[in-house]
Structure 1
Amino acid sequence: MTQDIAQKFDADTAWLELQSTLQQQYAYLDRAGVDKDTLFEVFAPKLIVTQSKQAFADTAQMLLRHFYDPHLNLGPYNAQDYSVFPTGSDIYVNYQNQQFVVVDVKAGSAADVAGIRPNMEIIEIDGMPMHEAVKQVLGREISQLQPEQVNFAANVSLGGYRNTSRKVTAKGKDAEKHYHLAASYEAINAFRDGPMISFRKIDNFGYIRFNNGLGNNKTVDEFKQALAALADTKALIIDLRNTPSGGNTGVAEPILGHFVTHKTAYQRYQTQQVGLPYTHAEMATAYVEPSLPYYDKPFVVLAGHWTGSMGEGMTIGLDAIGAKTVIGAPMADLLGGIKTVQLKHSETWLELGFERLYHVNGSFREDFVPHIRLDTADKDSSGNDPALAKALSVLDRA
């Protein structure tokens, strides 16, 4: 009897710990479109009646997804958890006129290979109608949600469960079709064994694509080798559309350094501190130092729905240090610089953005939109590459 009482899960204390951590350390608690007070009122009663740490974690994940921030996560994960978005994602949809319409498909992914294309309507994921799938991700009806929350939940659901194959039902011009897709992680994990950088010449232009390697130090050397091989090109296309897993500044800054001749600012930030709102925190500036070889010709940047975290930082950084233009779709909006906090009462960890990040012009990183905006950046309805085609057109006219 005494042992049973000692082992009983204290959900009240676990909830207070999660809530206070968010309030004191999450730099995006007040983001537009999210009513945190209402969310806490809705989910507090659900959380404090959970009978186990696993039930608490599952419910807390629903709460956190309402912030539609892919950097805000709670673990540890198990097989019943969704794939982490956007790494575990290959279909991007928007909720339009009560339909979930494909906007983009990740190049080279299972969805791309299967033939899913923009403008199709997604009907079901693993036999569940999309409206129900959204409810399962967030624990609330669509009528209670903001459009950004609906879109985020829909895209999380389409990534499927961790390391589990998926069945997607989509409707094209004619009829519905069932697509059996591999687990969303498979295609992105395959890059671990390959080069971190792919490059080639396209006519007189150089093209360099990152293969989700912004957290791998090999990327720095491979980028330098690619740049040396493309030194005689008239201009360069830097493709950051395949960086969903982010990375770190130790990889990004030496790469940015190839495009400057002196110490140059590339982003700004404010750090959330316990007891001090980020709005009162000192604004700091991040700089990049020159790296050799220096590339002294025009360059453009490609970004899109699978440009995440450090990929987003590199995009705004390249824009700040002199890119001719940025082309593509809105990026993944992984908010801020992140850290992990251990929550002892629920035996979970909370990953959250504690640094708010800005373009050097003072605008929020998450508000940055490519100068030449394309809703579809990876694969168009014909299976072509719209962002690359636009980049070549821009450079041809230069």
Structure 2
Amino acid sequence: MRLLLIATLLAACGMSQATAKIDDKQNLLTPNQIQQDLQSFIDYVRLGYAYRDEKQTDFATFEQCVRQQSTELKDKMQLSRRLNHCLEHWYDHHADVTPRPKDYYLPMPTASGLWAQWQDGKAIVTNVPFMGPAYQQGFRAGMQVLRLNGVPVEQAIEQANVSGFDEARSWTLNRLLTGKRQQRLSLEVHWRGKTEIKLLDIEAIVQEVIAEKPLLTQNRFGAVGYIRPENSLGNNALIQAFDDAMHQLQDTQAMILDLRHTPSGGNTEVARGIMSRFINVRQPYQTHELVSIEREFGVKRAWQEFVFPRGDFQYDKPLIVLCNKWTGSMGEGLTIGLHGMGRATVIGTQMSQLLGAIYSETLPHSQLNYLLPREKLFHINGTPREAFMPDQVVEQQNHDQSKDVILDIALKQLQSL
């Protein structure tokens, strides 16, 4: 999943006009091909989108959006723009059509430099990754966004809110703040009694996302080991890298698994490979529900996925998992898995709240890939994954933001044992 999302970001880089014209010719579609792809997409969302019945969206409204003036669509990128726009009726940042047009909104939370919430009629920044690009540009949790590119923020949200629902306001706000390639957003913010204009450089955030990184970062803080996957949960090579790190940290008295750099998710092989180093017996780590089976046949299908011990030793000492809004998809699965198995204490903020397990399908003519949550996912105690909250919730704006407060809290807890 990470490779696909980063490829999407890379594909959004500017092309020469000559190359664009050649691509446009190669991506032309006949009216019949357009209609068949639209129908395939509508049918899949109707049957397969697991969270369709939990949204306020009227399916007929979504279908009308997809079909509206469809005879004007001529090529692959026009079709991609239409489908991505209409998906916004579901205000779900785990639903996507790729590749996107290069001037379309970037994927959340992978390309999100900060996170905000619409609460009590105000747009409040709630999360800014410590020392990330937005942090270095001067943004802090607790700031109130007043204007976005000179437009009052409530008006900007209303104009961009495709669904029109109040419950989609926070989603729409973060869509706007994630922005598009090459953008520099002008944000008028109020913080600590002062109002000022700050520039959010979207391109700097994108460059940080696509920059080459190691599979993981490891460290020691006294007797405490520390491992942080670098948005690599979709790379099977992480399994061996994690094993190597575990060997080097085997003598520590406690461990921190930092999952705050996993916005693009990953795969279950890597996740189970990591969890398997912390258990001594087979255990379930999450529950799946394939909603489309019940919709089609009236028979509910759900099952639990298991983790088995692996490796030449199992780390049975205290473990803390760190999470935040950039703990996404499989990172969220890892978090609820280790928590559900009684193996870890979780410290941080609410996670990305990416809905379910996505399936990737391809439209027959345009060859566009569409990714939608087809399975609902649950903590083994029955809590929907997107509703999970850490054992210790850390509100970033209530702490000294000159340091990594979530990590500091975890270290203090472990060093006091």
Q: Give the deviation of 1:42 after TM superposition.
A: 6.5
User: Corresponding residue for 1:20?
Assistant: 43
Closer, same or farther: CA 279–162 of 1 in aligned 2, 3 Å: farther
What is the 5 A alignment of 1:1-398?
7-8=30-31, 15-31=38-54, 34-37=55-58, 40-41=60-61, 44=64, 47-50=67-70, 51-52=72-73, 57-139=80-162, 144-147=164-167, 149-162=168-181, 164-173=183-192, 174-183=194-203, 184-190=205-211, 193-273=212-292, 276=295, 280-292=299-311, 293-344=313-364, 348-376=368-396, 382-398=401-417
Q: Give the deviation of 1:262 after TM superposition.
A: 2.1
Q: Kindly provide the amino acid, as one letter, of the partner of residue 128 in structure 2.
A: V
Closer, same or farther: CA 209–129 of 1 in aligned 2, 3 Å: same
Give the Cα separation in 2 of the matches to 1:279 and 1:303: 37
Give the Cα separation in 2 of the matches to 1:217 and 1:45: 39
Q: Give the deviation of 1:176 after TM superposition.
A: 1.0
Q: Give the deviation of 1:167 after TM superposition.
A: 4.0
Task: Provide, for residues 112-142 of structure 1, a one-character-per-residue CA deviation record: whole Å limited to 9, x for no partner.
Answer: 11120011122344455433443454336xx
Equivalent residues of 1:259, 1:321 under 8 A apart: no
User: Corresponding residue for 2:3?
Assistant: none
Could you list the runs of 5+ residues in structure 2 that have no partner in the other structure?
1-28
Give the Cα separation in 2 of the matches to 1:128 and 1:219: 44
Q: Give the deviation of 1:361 after TM superposition.
A: 1.7
Secondary structure (helix, strand or coil) at the match of 1:175 reads strand
Equivalent residues of 2:66, 2:86 under 8 A apart: no
Alignment TM-score, normalising by the size of structure 1: 0.86
Secondary structure (helix, strand or coil) at the match of 1:115 reads coil
Q: Give the deviation of 1:269 after TM superposition.
A: 0.8
Give the Cα separation in 2 of the matches to 1:347 and 1:228: 44
Q: Give the deviation of 1:286 after TM superposition.
A: 1.0
Q: Give the deviation of 1:195 after TM superposition.
A: 1.6
Alignment TM-score, normalising by the size of structure 2: 0.83
Task: Provide, for residues 292-344 of structure 1, a one-character-per-residue CA deviation record: whole Å limited to 9, x for no partner.
Answer: 23102010111110000110110011112233411111111222221122334
Equivalent residues of 1:336, 1:355 under 8 A apart: yes
Secondary structure (helix, strand or coil) at the match of 1:280 reads coil
Give the Cα separation in 1 of the matches to 2:117 and 2:297: 31
Equivalent residues of 1:118, 1:381 under 8 A apart: no
Q: Kindly provide the amino acid, as one letter, of the partner of residue 314 in structure 1.
A: L
Q: What is the Cα-based RMSD across aligned positions, in Å?
A: 2.8
Equivalent residues of 1:71, 1:353 under 8 A apart: yes
Secondary structure (helix, strand or coil) at the match of 2:115 reads strand
> What is the count of residue pairs matched by the alignment?
383
Q: Kindly provide the amino acid, as one letter, of the partner of residue 207 in structure 2.
A: E
Closer, same or farther: CA 219–380 of 1 in aligned 2, 3 Å: farther
Q: Kindly provide the amino acid, as one letter, of the partner of residue 187 in structure 1.
A: E
Equivalent residues of 2:215, 2:230 under 8 A apart: yes
Equivalent residues of 2:294, 2:301 under 8 A apart: no
Could you list the runs of 5+ residues in structure 1 that have no partner in the other structure?
1-5
